[in-house]
Amino acid sequence: MGEYITLAHGSGGVEMLEILEKLFFRRVREEFKRVEGGVGIDVADDAAAIPIPGGRYIVVSSDAYTVNPPFFPGGNIGVLAASGSINDVLMMGGLPIALLDAIIVEEGFPIRDLETIVESMIKLLEEERVALIGGDFKVMPRGQVDKITITTTAIGVSNGPPIVDKPRPGDRIIVSDYIGEHGAVILLTQLGLSSDLGELVSDVKPLTKLMNPLVSRYRDCITAARDPTRGGLAGVLNEWASRSGVLIAIKDADVPIRDPVRRVADMLGVDPYFLASEGVAVLSIKPECVEEVLEYIHKLGFNEARVIGEVRESERFKGYVAAETPIGGLRVVEPPRGELVPRIC
Amino acid sequence: MFSKLYLELERELRYNKRAAEAVENKIHRLFIEYSGREGVERLKIMDFCGTHEWSITYYGLRSLMPRGLELVAGPGCPVCVVPSHYIEEAIKLSFEGVVVYAYGDVYKLRAKRSVKGAFSLSEARSLGADVRVVQDVLSAARDASSHGKPSVFIAVGFETAAPAYAWAILRDHLPGNLKLLSLVKLTPPAMFYSLEVSREKPTEPPISGVIAPGHVSTITGAKAWVPVAENYGIPVVVSGFEPLDVLVSILEILRQLVAGRAEVVIEYKRSVSWHGDVKAQSAVNRVFEVVDDAWRGIGFLPKSGLRIRDNYRRHDAIAEYGVRELKPGMWEKDMPPGCRCAEVVLGKAYPTHCPLFMKSCTPLKPIGPCMVSIEGTCAIWARYGSREFLDELAREIGEAS
């Protein structure tokens, strides 16, 4: 087909990188891919950075959120939209200070629901001490948008150079929490199987309590930081491996996954590493700091954080992510591609 | 949802590394004994079920096998063997305003020819057709009755899936507007065919043992595989799906080979009996008739498919929408020229034997269905390479740690 956009183009996998390359990266001249001295679309990272006097940087990230259904166990699209952009700024080493939101809503959408969504967004921003400084509000005729989409732009300040992801051989990979919970909840809900959810709720939350102290204290130890949203853990690790030309080796047994998520993944035949998290950080940490950093993360209340693997130099296997399986086998962790859909066979 | 005992058992079979190593060591010992005695360097064991293949790949079992013991995947994915023709028919229906329900992997399956610009149901959906991904026939039924529009559920599957379809019809769970397009396939004919082919022109070692499908056997019973053991003289083990299940099944196959036996043995005793689920078998018999059916890339296999009987034609999409059935006369190899996917599917050739593999046919520009489907053997090989690839990767990872 080729000439039409498919859902796969928006699933955060191989196809999306291809379409972005085709639409943007190839067309924008190098000098206009960033502000001089900053970070822009010259590197595909969480956010952009613009240098300001005093060795500091403005960090900006913009993201459009659509989620079906807009209300899901553990949150709603408002919480998701605010947390998501805040997290992108945090993962770049910035402390978020302000947010703008653009809401497009479908004619006929209940105002009460909209109130709930906006209220929860505002409450979250208050807790995060992030100002809501602007936005837009539009209504589309019925059927021209699926209920609601929210675009948020988060702005933050980084006191040092931004964290541009560049894992180096020897680094250890840390995940801060159980993975895949948001993805599992959404997938089950969309399939009409929310009765199978049990206690499981989305993990959507801002990661300020983790990232802000961590970055202030250990910025030099962090070579990469990312929240594994679309594309999941597999997406982040594969992107790191291929962009930095390294091999990333992890141990399946060390990756924290809660039983219900594992069960959902089993039932639907999807790899839990592909399921999105909306409140988890994946970090690449220099080997000399790793123990101290992990201990500190635990102290911050992220008790499930653990080292799941390490970065290796490899001529033959650069760009690969390999996992030792629980029974001692070996497999390649693939990058996500296509839409995440359940398998029958 | 599951009993505590079940979960504990699952954990053991999935994570018990010591037990796995013990089985692995025995496999290595027996393989050396057998290959030394018989003077064979290579031995092929065929797994037959997509989920077994998934377990083998996901848990990295190939990397644990002795060199020369090869696990090959058989035609065990009911989706990969759906002929292009039926996907094209389904795309056509979707463009004619019929709501089409499909499993996720059917939704992605590519046809050989495009219909109005769409090579798959997922592409049809991006072009405006109403295609919905569901997990089972009952959710399609619920959804279809909520909107009342003409709808078709693509009923793909093996013996395992058939009873659910049969009961949906017998227990009157299907709303009048939802018809089933039955493309259910039966596994024993395909297994016979694979074994037959593996013995022709023996450039490759024949299949010496079979890991028989666990889910299918819960319905058919292990007895369904007796003809395989008897006619081909090879061990057949009905296996569960956890990594230790599969390892134990491989060990049992080697034990039989060493002892010169060829029997059907059930490893998956917690689910499979000798006679199977007789109630399910009879429900399937009432609703479906057995027909000669086409397998993608393979051709017509006698008595290998299920279609809805005349009595229940009001539920049959083929009758309702006049879906054209593929006839042996119409059969054309729905494989591109030069593509050896059919042999790869049958475990007869490795992807590297195909002249197109990684030359004109790559994951980014796939030609044959084995490369198109992400679980196709060629796609897996393209990403993981061969056994040598895994060995080298293991060495590299082992060195540094």
Q: How far apart are CA A141 and CA B73, in angstroms?
A: 51
Size of interface A-B (CB pairs under 8 A): 148
Residue B385 pLDDT grade (very low, low, confident, very high; cuts 50, 70, 90) = low
DSSP B161: T
The mean of the pLDDT values for chain B is 89
Residues 291 through 350 of chain B touching chain A, CB cutoff 8 Å: none
The beta-carbon neighbor of A330 closest among B17, B127, B390 is B390
Question: Are both B227 and B204 inside the same structural domain?
Answer: yes
Please report whether residue B336 resides in a domain: no
Tell me: do B181 and B194 sit in the same domain: no
Q: Which residues share a beta bridge with A225?
A: A283
pLDDT digit string (tens) for A284-309? 999 999 999 999 999 999 999 999 99
| Mean pLDDT within B250-255 | 97
Taking CB atoms and an 8 Å cutoff, what residues of chain B touch A317?
A: 392-393, 396
With a CB-CB cutoff of 8 Å, which residues 371-400 of chain B face chain A? Answer: 374-375, 383-384, 390, 392-394, 396-397, 400
Each residue of B133-188: pLDDT tens digit? 998 999 999 999 999 999 999 999 999 999 999 999 999 999 999 999 999 999 99
A168 touches chain B (CB under 8 A): no
Q: Which of A3, A5, A312 sits opposite B400 (nearest CB)?
A: A312
Is B360 part of a structural domain of the chain?
Answer: yes
Alpha carbons B235 and B115: distance in angstroms, whole number: 45
B195, B347 Cβ separation under 8 angstroms = no
For residue B28, the domain's CATH number is: 3.40.50.11750
Beta-carbon-side half-sphere exposure of residue A157 (alpha carbons within 13 Å) = 9
* pTM of the predicted structure, to 2 decimals: 0.87
CA distance A189 to chain B (A): 12
Domain A34-158 has CATH 3.40.718.10: no
- Which pLDDT belongs to residue B401? 47
Domain covering A172-332: architecture: Alpha-Beta Complex (3.90)
How high is the ipTM of this complex?
0.82
Strand B131-133 and strand B99-102: pairing? Answer: parallel
pLDDT exceeds 70 at position B333: no
Average of pLDDT values for A67-88? Answer: 94
Amino acid B91: pLDDT: 97
- Mark whether B164 and B288 lie in a shared domain: yes
- Of the partner residues A1, A317, A345, the one whose CB lies closest to the CB of residue B105: A345
Q: For A201-254, how does the pLDDT look when each residue is reduced to its tens digit (9 = 90+)?
A: 999 999 999 999 999 999 999 999 999 998 899 999 999 999 999 999 999 999
- The percentage of chain B sitting over the pLDDT mark of 90, rounded to a whole number, equals 57
Q: Do B59 and A329 touch (CB under 8 A)?
A: yes
For residue A262, which of B21, B242, B102 has the smallest C-alpha distance? B242
Check CB contact of A298 with chain B, cutoff 8 Å: no
- Which residues from B are below 8 Å from A193, CB to CB? 135, 139
B317 phi/psi in degrees, rounded to 5: -65, -30
The verdict on residue B250 lying in a domain is yes
Average pLDDT over residues A8-16: 79
Find chain A residues with C-beta within 8 A of B135's C-beta: 191, 193, 268, 342
Residues B151 and B281 in one domain: yes
pLDDT confidence band for A27 (50 / 70 / 90): very high
Structural domain that includes position B245: 4-76+188-266
User: Which residues of A, range 92-131, sit inside 8 Å of B by Cβ?
Assistant: none
Angle between helices B4-15 and B243-259 (to 10 degrees): 60
Helix (H) or strand (E) holding A101: strand A95-106
Does the structure show a pLDDT above 60 at A344? no
Would B335 be classed as within a structural domain? no
Residue B271 placed within a domain:
no
Range A68-82 average pLDDT? 94
Q: Which residue of A has its CA nearest to B12?
A: A327
- pLDDT at position A29 is 94
Split at pLDDT 50, 70, 90, the class of B373 is low
Q: Distance between CA A48 and CA A6 in Å, rounded?
A: 27
pLDDT of residue B298: 82
Helices (H), strands (E): how many in chain A? 8, 14
Give yes or no for A338 touching B (CB within 8 A). Answer: yes
Q: Which residues neighbour A126 within 8 Å (Cβ) at sequence distance 6 or greater?
A: none
Q: How far is B308 from chain A (nearest CA, A)?
A: 21
pLDDT in tens, B183-237: 999 999 988 888 888 777 666 788 899 999 998 999 999 999 999 999 999 999 9
Tally of domains within chain B: 3
Domain boundaries, chain A: 34-158, 172-332
Same domain for B355 and B305, yes or no, is no
Condensed to tens digits (0 to 9), the pLDDT of residues A125-163 reads 999 999 999 999 999 999 899 899 999 999 999 999 999
**B64-116, pLDDT tens digit by residue?**
999 999 998 887 778 878 898 999 999 999 999 999 999 988 888 888 889 99
CA A56 and chain centroid, separation:
24
CATH number at residue B155: 3.40.50.11740
Residue-wise pLDDT tens digits, B259-283: 999 999 999 999 999 999 999 999 9
| CA-closest candidate to residue A227, choices A167, A289, A161, A180 | A180
Given a cut of 50, is residue A345 above it in pLDDT?
no
